Amino acid sequence: MKIHEYQAKRLFAKYDIPIPEGGVAETPEEARKIAARLGVPVVVKAQVLVGGRGKAGGIRLSSNPDDAASCAAKILGMEIKGLTVKKVLIDEAADIQDELYLGVVLDRANRRVVMMGSSEGGVDIEEVAASTPEKIVRATIDPLLGLRDFQARELAYGIGLDKNVIRAFGVIAHSLYRAYMENDASLAEINPLVVTGDGKLLAVDGKMNIDDSGLFRHLNIEAMRDIGAEDESERHARAADLSYVELDGEIGCMVNGAGLAMATMDIVKLYGSEPANFLDIGGGAQAEKVAEALRIILRDPRVKAVLFNIFGGITRGDEVACGILEALEELDTDVPMVARIVGTRAEEGRQLLADAEMITAGSLRDAAQKAVAAARGELG
Ligand code: GDP
Ligand code: MN
C-alpha cells in the first residue's frame, strides 16, 4: 500500500525526522488559510500516489497566501500519470542548499534490507543508478544487529556530507530505518533530504510503501488509505481479491496461480511480445471473479490480446469459461482472446469457449504463439 507524501512525512516526524511545517488543503481557499497561518513563502505540492510530480508541474513555490491559493487552483484537478490531484500539501518553503537522497529498501536477491544514500538527491534515483551508479552508496543491514553507527557514518562520508551535519544525518538514518522496520514497509525514502541555508537537514519529500501482508498489524496505516487516490484497476483488483500488477506490454494475462502467472509472462516474452500485466485469479475462482478480472485487463488500452492460462485443480475449467463468457456479454470489445485450459473440467470449458468462437489452444506454447500473433493482427 502506498501512502501520500504528507502521511509519510508525518509518520517520519514521529520518529524525530525533521520535516517542514505544513497542512493539507482540498480547495484553494484552504490553501490560502494554511499559507497565511504559516506566514512565510510556501511550496504547494500535489498529493498523488506517484513520483515525478515536480517534473509534471505538480509543485510550485509561492511567496504569499493569494499566490498559494492560485497555485493550489492550478494543481488541484491536474492529472499526473493518470491520477487526478485531489489534495495539495502546503509546506513552509525550504531554503535549499543541497539535495541528498536517503532510502531504505528490501534487496530481495540478498535477502537483506539495504540503506542507500546519494549526493544526487531530488532526481529520480533510478536515473542516478543508471547513469552514475558510483554516486549511490549502500549499507547492507544485518537483521539481528540493525543499522550500525559505523554504517550510518560510512553513508554520510560516502555521499560527501559536511562535517557539521554528520551527527544529524546519523540520527535521521537510524530513524528512517526504525520507521521502515516498525511499520512493515517495503520502501521508506526521503528524496530530497535537503541541507538548508542555515546548515540543517530537512526531509522535504517523503515516500513510504507498506507491505500489504503486514497491514493487518498497522491499523493506523490502513486508516490512511485514500481510496479515491488509488489506481482504479488496482482498487478493483483488491476489492475482488485478485493479485494484479500492471505492466507495460500488450498481452493481457489471466492465470490461476502466481508461479503459473510468472511462467506465462516468460513464455509471452519468449515468443517476442510483452505481458501487459501479472494477474493471479487464485484458486477456486468463481465466474464473477473471472469476469471482474477480465474487466480489469480490458480497461488497459494497451492490451491487444488476452491470454487465459488456466490449470484446473480446485478451479474448474467450465466455471472459468462461464466467467469469461459472462464478462464478454457485457463488455463491448474486439480484443482477440486465446484460452488454454487444462485439468478439472477442461474439456467442458474449452467447448464452451470454442462455441463462443474464442481461439483455444492445446498447449501453453501454442496459446502463447497464438496470443502474440493475434496481438499483431495475424490471426483470425
Ligand atoms: P517529486 O518530484 O514528486 O519527487 O517531489 P519533491 O517533493 O521531491 O520535489 C521535487 C523538487 O522540487 C525538489 O527536488 C526540489 O528541488 C523542489 N522543491 C520541493 N520543495 C521545495 C521547497 O520547499 N523549496 C524549494 N526551493 N524547492 C523545493
Ligand atoms: Mn521527491
Across the range 268-277, mean pLDDT stands at 97
Residue 283 has pLDDT above 80, yes or no: no
> How confident is the model at residue 229, as a pLDDT?
85
Given pLDDT bands bounded at 50, 70 and 90, which one contains residue 330?
A: confident
Catalytic residue (choose from 15, 101, 177, 244): 101
Residue 285 has pLDDT above 90, yes or no: no
CA of 194 to the centre of ligand 1 (A): 10
189 catalytic? Reply is yes
Residue 111 has pLDDT above 70, yes or no: yes
> How confident is the model at residue 43, as a pLDDT?
98
> How confident is the model at residue 142, as a pLDDT?
97
Given pLDDT bands bounded at 50, 70 and 90, which one contains residue 315?
A: confident
Catalytic residue (choose from 92, 120, 189, 250): 189
Q: Is the CB of 202 under 6 A from ligand 1?
A: no
Across the range 101-122, mean pLDDT stands at 96
101 catalytic? Reply is yes
Q: Is the CB of 205 under 6 A from ligand 1?
A: yes
Residue 380 has pLDDT above 70, yes or no: no
> How confident is the model at residue 228, as a pLDDT?
84
> How confident is the model at residue 78, as a pLDDT?
96
Residue 209 has pLDDT above 90, yes or no: yes
Task: Spell out which residues have Cβ within 5 A of ligand 2, the ion.
Answer: 191, 205
Across the range 38-46, mean pLDDT stands at 97
Kindly list the structural domains of the chain, giving each domain's residue range(s) and its CATH number in brackets, ordered by start.
21-92 (3.30.1490.20), 96-222 (3.30.470.20), 231-375 (3.40.50.261)
Q: Is the CB of 85 under 6 A from ligand 1?
A: no
Mean pLDDT over the full length of the chain = 94
Across the range 91-109, mean pLDDT stands at 96
What tens digit of pLDDT does each residue of 9-33 get? Answer: 999 999 999 999 999 999 999 999 9
Across the range 118-142, mean pLDDT stands at 94
Given pLDDT bands bounded at 50, 70 and 90, which one contains residue 235?
A: confident
Nearest CA to ligand 1 atom 13: 122
Nearest CA to ligand 1 atom 11: 54
Given pLDDT bands bounded at 50, 70 and 90, which one contains residue 106?
A: very high
> Relative to the alpha carbon of 43, which ligand is closest?
1
> How confident is the model at residue 331, as a pLDDT?
84
What tens digit of pLDDT does each residue of 331-355 get? Answer: 889 999 999 999 999 999 999 999 9
pLDDT over 70 percentage in the chain: 100
- From 78, 96, 193, the mutation candidate for ligand 1 (largest count of ligand atoms within 8 A of CB) is 96
Q: Is the CB of 123 under 6 A from ligand 1?
A: no
The pTM of the full predicted model, rounded to 2 decimals, is 0.83
3-state SS string over the chain? CEECHHHHHHHHHHCCCCCCCEEEECCHHHHHHHHHHHCCCEEEEECCCCCCCCCCCCEEEECCHHHHHHHHHHHCCCEECCEECCCEEEEECCCEEEEEEEEEEEECCCCEEEEEEECCCCCCHHHHHHHCHHHEEEEEEECCCECCHHHHHHHHHHCCCCHHHHHHHHHHHHHHHHHHHHCCEEEEEEEEEEEECCCCEEECCCEEEECHHHHHHCHHHHCCCCHHHCCHHHHHHHHCCCEEEECCCCEEEEECCHHHHHHHHHHHHHCCCCECEEEECCCCCCHHHHHHHHHHHHHCCCCCEEEEEEEECCCCHHHHHHHHHHHHHHCCCCCCEEEEEEECCHHHHHHHHHHCCCEECCCHHHHHHHHHHHHCCCCC
- From 2, 40, 43, the mutation candidate for ligand 1 (largest count of ligand atoms within 8 A of CB) is 43
